[in-house]
Amino acid sequence: MSHIVVVGMNTDLAAQLESARRVIERHFLTAGKMLTQAIEGIDALVASLEKLVEALDAKAVAAASGDLRAAAQSLNDLAENHHTRQKAIDDLGHHRETLAKYVADMRASLAYMRAFTVNIKIVSSGIAEAGSTFESFAQEISDCIESGREQLRQMEDELMGLQEGLASALSQGATLSSRINTLLPVLPNELSESAGLMGEHYARVSAVAGDVAGIARNIQKRVVRVLQALQIGDITRQRIEHVQDSIRRLQTDPALQGYEGRLMALGYGLLEQQLLSTIDEFHQEVTEVEAAMADMGTHSRELLKLRDMAYGGKNGGGFLDDLGARIDQAFVLVNEIEKADGSALRTGQETASAANQLGKRIAAVQALKNDVQYMALNTTIKCAQIGDAARPLSVIAIELRDHGRHLEDAAAAGLSELDELTGAAGSLATVRNGEGRLSAAEALGVAANLIRDARQRTEAEVGTLVLRGEELLAVIDSSTTRLAFREEIGETLETVAEALTKRAACAPQDASGIEDPLVDMLEDFGSMYTMAQERNVHNAFVDSVGADYAEVHAAIQRRAAAAAA
């Protein structure tokens, strides 16, 4: 009856060990495959890092830095040019006001002269000797004055239009001056500072790329060591199989099932030692593997610091975004300044064109003055011929000539002021950026393109690196999870070991009569060993048998020596 119970127990133990063996085989095999993929992933990661360093072209970065500095200088030039043009527009306004006063003086002179022509008509009508001569003179003078008044009216309209354009340009310039005073020199200084920081930034990214490559290679070495340590899975699996096979032989070999169970108890004792040794070695190695995997995961997460260095955080931003924002802000300011300067330039051109037309009108007024002066002189001569009766007309003619001189003075002053106006208008077209330098827009555009190109290349490589780094982390985390099964099989192995211990407790104190089958059983078990540790446990068990089994031990030694010979 007891023999039947032992067989049932043998069957249960082998099945339990089979379950543990399969778990070990499945998890270690999967983890090994994953870590092999990790090695390949690290190779790709290091290759991408090398590409990243190539993307951080020092010459391109230096060129972009130089263009940023040039853009900063050009921005300062733009501000200076803008203030110069604003002053020129302001000067235009002053010259326009002065010219308008001279036009008003000319209008006043013409008004007096028009009144005198009326007086000539009235006075000459009472002088019989005058006939129609003076009335004809008066009408000619009146026609000239009306022509002059029309020229002056058009001049006033043109000056008013010019005033509106200047007022608009001054208002736009004042608004922009406020913006310039707010952003300059802060913005150019920031761009100059960024030019230096950009080189430092990319140098740091390049250095970190080198550090990350070193980390990746270090992880690769750790992975290789873990893969080597994972051999414990195969070792444990094989040793469990050997214990299973030995249990089955105890169950099925009729030669071992006699001798009142004494031989089987000894067999259980040896298998107990083999399984306990397997469990201890397994736990020790797996503990080291788990520690190595955790350490490897920590190092792997350091790979992502390259992303933080490149962008200032997981969500981007940081130095490159700040620099891009500054460049965009500079572009807006440059466009505003250039738009205002373009408007000022058009104002200067329009003013120059208006000045040309005004010059023609003043010349026409001057020509009119000559005609009036000539007719007034003829009137004076005719009055002298008539005598005392025409004396009042002579006085009026003299007054007319005097106001003609006033008109001449005002016209001459107007022409002089017109020259000043023309010169001020021309100065609006002469303000330029620094000789031999790119314009602010050109410098900013070149810098922006270089930075955008470098950033796009860097982003592409860093994006690939982050993806591969995260894939590597996922593989390592999955591998760690796969190996976290110690509790899953530990209880099973401990249960089987306890059962073997109970069976071994029945081992006899006297092996007399079973020496030969004991030697056969031990040799049979030993023939399955593939691990040195198994043979060490086997030999230790034989040694532990003691003096009572001296003959057995001696027989085993003789057979081993004979087999070796």
* DSSP letter string, 68-106: HHHHHHHHHHHHHHHHHHHHHHHHHHHHHHHHHHHHHHH
Distance between CA 315 and CA 145 in Å, rounded?
A: 79
Length of the chain: 565
Opening angle at CA 303, ends 228 and 56, nearest 5: 125
- Residue 507, phi-psi category: left (phi > 0), alpha (psi -120 to 50), beta (remainder): beta
| Tokens 């009326």 found at | 118
C-alpha–C-alpha distance, residues 334 and 356, integer Å: 32
- Residue in 214, 269, 181, 227 with CA at minimum distance from that of residue 511: 269
- Specify whether the CB–CB gap between 420 and 95 falls below 8 A: yes
Contacts 24+ apart (CB under 8 A), 335-343: 335/441, 336/176, 336/179, 337/78, 337/79, 337/82, 337/176, 337/180, 337/440, 338/78, 338/441, 340/82, 340/169, 340/172, 340/173, 340/176, 341/78, 341/81, 341/82, 341/85, 341/431, 343/168, 343/169, 343/172
Q: Residue 557: what pLDDT?
A: 67
**Other beta carbons within 10 Å of 157:** 10
d(CA 375, CA 133): 11
pLDDT at residue number 4? 27
- Per DSSP, the three-state class of 151 is helix
Segments of the chain scoring below 50 in pLDDT = 1-11, 312-317, 433-437, 547
**Residue with the two structure tokens 């379950």:** 19
**Secondary structure element (H or E) that encloses residue 527, with its range:** none
pTM above 0.75, yes or no: no
pLDDT of residue 5: 31
Q: What is the reported pLDDT for 151?
A: 85
Non-local CB neighbours of 341 within 8 Å, separated by 6+ positions: 78, 81, 82, 85, 431
Give residue 271's pLDDT: 92
Question: Residue 15, exposed/middle/buried by CB under 10 A (0-12, 13-18, 19+)?
Answer: exposed
What does the pLDDT read at residue 274?
Answer: 92
Q: Which amino acid belongs to residue 219?
A: I
Max CA-CA distance within the chain?
186
Q: How far is CA 173 from CA 85, 315, 477, 491, in A?
A: 9, 40, 63, 86
Query: For 374, what's the count of Cα atoms within 13 Å in the CB-facing half-sphere?
Result: 8
**Contact present, 141 and 372 (Cβ < 8 Å):** yes
pLDDT of 276 reads: 92
Beta carbons of 23 and 489 less than 8 angstroms apart: yes
Amino acid 3: pLDDT: 31
Whether omega before 185 lies within 30 degrees of 0, making that bond cis, reads yes
Virtual CA dihedral for 126, 131, 135, 136, nearest 10 degrees? 180
The token pair at 408 is 């001449």
What is the C-alpha separation between 323 and 190, in angstroms, rounded? 9
Angle at 288 between CA 285 and CA 294, to 5 degrees: 140
pLDDT in the model for residue 186:
74
Q: Which of 550, 344, 529 is nearest to 429 (CA)?
A: 344
Residue 85: CA count within 13 A, CB half-sphere: 34
